[in-house]
Structure 1
Amino acid sequence: MTTFTDTLKNRRSIYHLGRNVSLSNEELTALIKEAIKESPTAFNAQSTRAVILFGDAHEKLWEITEEALRPLTPAEAFPNTQNKLAGFKNGYGTVLFFKDTDVVKGLQEQFELYADNFPDWSEQSNGIATANTWVALVDKGLGAN
């Protein structure tokens, strides 16, 4: 029987991602949403959001990223950058985590005494949600990076 700590130990960055995924896009989306929803947040803020991309949208993101990095990366280093991005593009999908700044601002207004802390707490919550999502994916036999 696999324990939670075993699953944590198996959560590693997988650099050679593939597309051999038995879950449907709907099942993956539900899993990711649930992992984010159940992640603890200060004041139950739930400020973490995610964009989940599959198929053409996933591939297009990495093409846009490559074109954005091309002028910023020294020419001699760009082949390594392209290889790294190709590894991401070879995956089944992409999850982009971000914080809902409207939630943070609302809490800052509601709880002025703690206003300076909410941006940091939101970043911490985002990290927790990201880690929990990775663990949830590992639990289903999937890797991430």
Structure 2
Amino acid sequence: MTYYHPGIYQFELPFLTASFVPDENDLVMIKYCDVEIHVGRNKSPLITVLISTKKEGMSPTNFIENVVDVILKGYLPQIVIDGINKADIRWIQREYYPEERFHEVQMKWNKNQNRFCYPNWVQLEDDWIMKEHKLVKY
């Protein structure tokens, strides 16, 4: 049996881009995305993770595997007590440009690398997360 702490978890998550070039102050820019995790809300699957581009921010699309890896290994073990069944997680990405849209991000689990890879985006047309998320409106 899986034990978990139900609720909606919101936070800002930093992610690195492909550019490691420092600016004039020697700072390497780190970008941020918004994350909202829905756990045990009488929805299927058990966990829905919404990763959202910040308004006027850089999209995490090209770095989605890294963002997912941080959430999967750094945040979900605190929320789900008895280990995480990867089939119980649904990954959603929200973009704002050129208009608000939602995609389910389907990925394959790579046992050798111990992480998700090969993302594929499937656009959502009518889904509960589109109406029930608590993130700031664009």
Higher percent of residues as helix: 1
TM-score scaled by length of structure 2:
0.37
TM-score scaled by length of structure 1:
0.36
State the structure with more CA Rg: 1
Higher percent of residues as strand: 2
